Structure 1
């Protein structure tokens, strides 16, 4: 059976047994979404690349510690989120974040629409910058990555109730900023 036909749990089991190709497949499957999460949390491409590289190296070294093979993706989200939060906490308050780089839209239908979408994304990303790192992590994991409250709680070390509160505050703050675009 080809590696891309196997589920994550099978690949994790094989990787734990030393199958490097199985782990490479896991990296290939999940590195883009972990990079997008890190980029949106950190606002800097270089920092996001560093975090994702560190996360996949750490996960490879600690793969034997994973109790349930099927929990791999949640573990990956938790590790990436925690590493991003550590980077954010260690930054000086004046650290520059290139939010315009994150807001760059893809090919849109026409220059007017492209300009509008670009401006909306820039406003949203500036508003995300104003959230606490914990609120930003919870909001991104829920709204962008579709994770459950329980998964987010495991990723950020908070109860599902605390996660709901953080997301509610983030949504309220973002809704206020985005009101002119509604």
Structure 2
């Protein structure tokens, strides 16, 4: 089990990676810092969450991804992120990449959790099916099925159709 001192060492060693991961997914420094605090507060309050079946780095990566996807699903967070990224207060034009990033975050928020997680690992992190399977604790074949469902959902969403993937 991890003690307070061990968690402080993990924070010093991996806090920057957690922050960078959260910032990439949330697109907002303030939300990323909040996510960083939440991941480590959760580990401090319930160290038994880390069961040692994977590396601590893998656990932090997964915990950060899941927390950020949950934040994106939260209506308030999603609204604020979209407003900040798509409609800047100064009235200046938004770069296409910022608009696309906000759209991707909005779409991820609408996917079921397992699909969103697989999509983030594959499309944003360029992980292989094997790497995703190891992080998610499932088979390579299941990862392939999840990604096929993401593609089906994305195609139907682009056409304005509703598609049930659960």
Corresponding position of 1:142: 122
Q: Kindly provide the CA deviation profile for residues 17-42 of structure 1, in whole angstroms up to 9, marking residues without a partner as x.
A: x361x433321232222223222332
Partners of 1:39 and 1:136 in 2: CA distance? 17
TM-score of the pair, normalised by structure 2: 0.59
Match of 1:53 among 34, 37, 51: 37
1:32 paired with 2:16, answer yes
Relative contact order: is structure 1 or structure 2 higher (C-alpha 8 Å, sep ≥ 6)? 1
Q: What SS does the aligned partner of 1:34 have?
A: helix
Corresponding position of 1:129: 105
Partners of 1:146 and 1:30 in 2: CA distance? 21
User: Which runs of no fewer than 5 residues in structure 2 stay unpaired?
Assistant: 87-93, 157-166
Give 1:44-83 correspondences, 5 Å limit: 44-68=28-52, 70-83=54-67
Partners of 1:93 and 1:61 in 2: CA distance? 24
Corresponding position of 1:99: 85
Structure with larger Rg? 1
Partners of 1:33 and 1:167 in 2: CA distance? 27
User: Which runs of no fewer than 5 residues in structure 1 stay unpaired?
Assistant: 1-12, 101-117, 174-182
CA contact (8 A) 1:152 1:163 kept: no
Please give the root-mean-square deviation of Cα atoms over the aligned residues, in Å: 3.6
Any runs of at least 4 consecutive aligned residues in structure 1 with deviations exceeding 6 A, and if so which? 170-173
CA contact (8 A) 1:141 1:152 kept: no
